[in-house]
Structure 1
Amino acid sequence: SRLTGPAARKLAGVDPVWALRQIAFQLERSGAPAYRVRAFRRAAEVVDGLSQAELAERVRAGTLRQLAGIGEATAQVITQAAAGQEPEYLTRLLGGGASAPPTALRAAMRGDCHMHSDWSDGGSPPLEMALAARDLGHEWVALTDHSPRLTVASGLSADRLRAQLELIGELNATLAPFRILSGIEVDILEDGSLDQTDELLGQLDMVVASVHSKLRMPSVPMTARMIAAIRNPHTDVLGHCTGRIIVGRGRPQSEFDAEAVFTACREHGVALEVNCRPERQDPPDDLLRLAVEIGCLFAVDTDAHAPGQLDWLDGGCARAEQFGIGPDRVINTRGTPGGRR
């Protein structure tokens, strides 16, 4: 897709750092190998550390590749951008054509309720994720790194979450009017309790509650487990409800009484997540149709672990609209959903 909004305007005077990051973004959204993405992000960090005078002199003298982290492809991007041109590499990634206009739901979206940073299992720092969201035209994005139980994903202890809250406050002071919502993707434990203290959960703007363990639990206890989490007053969103994976070796969906769970979501004002990740597409079609019929609210979320994945919102919106989900039933269309702080 072509660039729109702030990203398109940036090309009026092409910034080499921005061009390198935009290439990394486009590579991520297309599923390119991680090493290729890292090369462009590393080059952006190197160039960002140079003064304007040194950058101009290196471009003039052709000595960019003497810098560690700058290769042939990245040097060409920097040189073309410094000359005020759209780099050829970026042009190829964008396909050279205009994108289709956004759907009605996508046009109404103001933010993303679920993303991860390098504080847990994401690949980029919160600022980089926020800047990518802002370039997509978002007004806000919720930073929802994992809770402590998920050690494999470097889940945040209470102390680390408190430190992240301080960072979010500092970033918001510089990013305004764009806003990072404080949040968490909190594990739903076996008894339905949430994997963080009530005191901290009560400070957050966005709590996405998800099952990550014992996904093969029998239907009856799994249903009770999920409903207990939904009834928790801190829960805003029920994340990827079936836990399924539909690519590679895959993972079967969890078994639970969907009608009872979705009815609880409706009754307690908890949004059911339409997860945009290509390997999830959760909930499945039949359950998404049921949730629409029951009258649930929804959160269309990318569950992004890298900046380029934030652009998966387009596909999630298109899928939601196939089932008749309009902007009035999607909390991402609100100014700042959650918003307890």
Structure 2
Amino acid sequence: MDPVEALRRIAFLLEWRGASPYRVRAFHTAADAASDLPPGPVEPGEAQHLHGIGPVTAEVIAQASQGRIPAYLTGLEAEAGGTARSAWKLVEASVGDCHLHSDWSDGGHPIEEMAEAARAIGHRWAVLTDHSPRLTIAHGLSPDRLRRQLEELAAVNTRSTGFRLLTGIECDILEDGTLDQEEDLLEQLDVVVASVHSKLRSDPEPMTARMVAAVRNPHTDVLGHCTGRIVTGRGRPQSRFDAKAVFTACAESGTAVEINCRPERRDPPDDLLLQAAEAGCLFAVDTDAHAPEQLHWQSSGYARAARAALGPDRLITTWPIERLLAWTASTGCIGVASAAPPEGSHRT
């Protein structure tokens, strides 16, 4: 076990046991830094010279670099028992990510760099979901820019083997519940993530109507970060809505609920995640990555999925690409029991 793997496993176990987002993120940050270390033994003092490495993570790095299982990891695994090992199988089953951004909107890296990073961590597919026009603060894509992006994405895929970057968008849910992009373009995309980014403090009744309309839209495949909350820094309270009505609509229409893995989001909260699970929803464990290293956050989302007793059949990010595309091409009114639609079905 190398230092990076050890640090990622610790981050996963901390998330699995419900540790603070700051603590979880510290181990992911340390893993990013440790990836720059040369092979071979490292002393704790050497590791601490790296940005983002403290005494605890430095000791983990030193022990792992010397061929030992770090004591910190051993302790967490002993405390968690066999259930955590079963939970880790969800991470190993992951083949994709439905939500990532490039420098075409508010991401910091080119499309091809994000695609290569996803391929490098073992994904077979990922979905490029840059923002829609009205989110101007995030440099959302106008219809013309989205058309140009689709051409660029096709060119990227011709240079990749064993991996496919799917077409998509993170589409703003407007106040009336409609989606912020032209119908003909939404029809062309492989995956549509629909998210609320404005008027997050609306009263529960209009917010519920807005979200229900969006998840019932046949173009919508995934409901993104449903509460809009921020749990780190100054924070932001979660939006108020009738969760039972929204998740029932998701389950009935076949729209997946996103388990957003960003440490500052952890959205939905645990109580709503359990409510969505009980409603029979499908889920997408998504990083909402804006940079290559953020793709590693996905393991934290799988830890939360495991705590909610969700198996791979409920998690679309563990599905092979053929099943995923058959599902997104359907009308969505398929529910969990028949999540892969019949051959020949299509979007209406």
**Which TM-score band (shorter chain)?**
0.7 to 0.9
Aligned AA (2:273)? L
State the partner residue of 1:192.
177
| Aligned-partner Cα distance in 2 for 1:115–1:31 | 22
3-state DSSP of counterpart to 1:114 = coil
Q: 2-side partners of 1:86 and 1:118: how far apart?
A: 35
Distance in 2 between the 1:310 and 1:255 partners? 29
Residues 4, 31 of structure 2: 8 Å contact kept: no
For 2:105 and 2:242, how far apart are their aligned partners in 1?
A: 31
Residue 320 of structure 1: how far off its partner (Å): 1.1
Secondary structure, counterpart of 2:97 in structure 1: strand
- Of structures 1 and 2, the larger Rg is shown by 1
Task: Deviation per CA, 1:240-268: give whole Å up to 9, x if none.
Answer: 00000011111110010000000000000
d(CA) in 1 for partners of 2:26, 2:103 = 18
Q: Report what 1:176 is aligned to.
A: 161
1:227 to 212, 216, 222: 212
Q: Which of 277, 286, 310 is 1:325 aligned to?
A: 310
- Corresponding residue number in structure 2 for 1:262: 247
1:135 Cα deviation after fit: 1.1
Q: How far did residue 304 of structure 1 move?
A: 0.5
1:107 to 74, 92, 95: 92
How far apart are the structure 1 equivalents of 2:27 and 2:142?
29
Q: Given that residues 27 and 308 in structure 1 are in contact (C-alpha distance below 8 angstroms), is that contact kept between their aligned partners in structure 2?
A: no
Does the 8 Å contact 1:28/1:306 carry over to 2? no
User: Where does residue 95 of structure 1 map in the other structure?
Assistant: 61
Aligned to 1:60: none
**Residue 147 of structure 2 is aligned with which of 162, 167, 176?**
162
Alignment equivalent of 1:144, drawn from 112, 129, 133 = 129
- The Cα shift of 1:3 comes to 5.7
**Which of 226-235 and 98-107 deviates more?**
98-107
Please tell me the root mean square deviation across aligned C-alpha atoms, in Å: 2.9
Contact 1:206 1:236 (C-alpha < 8 Å) held by counterparts: yes
TM-score (norm 1): 0.74
Contact 2:134 2:180 (C-alpha < 8 Å) held by counterparts: yes
1:304 to 259, 271, 289: 289
In structure 1, stretches of 5+ residues that fail to align are: 5-25, 41-76
Segments of structure 2 that go 5 or more residues without pairing to the other structure are 6-24, 51-59, 74-84, 330-345
Once the two structures are TM-superposed, the CA of residue 176 in structure 1 deviates from its matched residue by 2.2
Question: Structure 2-normalised TM-score?
Answer: 0.72
- CA distance in 1 between partners of 2:61 and 2:170 (Å): 35
CA contact (8 A) 1:28 1:307 kept: no
Change (3 A) 1:28 1:116: farther
Match in the other structure for 2:341:
none
Output the CA distance in 2 between the equivalents of 1:247 and 1:285. Answer: 16
Flag the 1:27–1:168 CA change in 2: closer, same or farther, 3 A.
Answer: farther
SS at match of 1:194: coil
- Contact between 1:28 and 1:309, CA under 8 Å: does it hold in 2? no
Distance 1:268 1:328 in 2: 17
Q: Partner letter of residue 116 of structure 2?
A: L
Query: How many residues in Structure 1 have an aligned counterpart in Structure 2?
Result: 273
Percent of pairs with identical residues: 59
Counterpart of 2:248, as a letter, is: T
Query: 1:32 Cα deviation (Å)?
Result: 10
Residues 229 and 236 in structure 2, CA contact (< 8 A), matched pair in contact too: yes
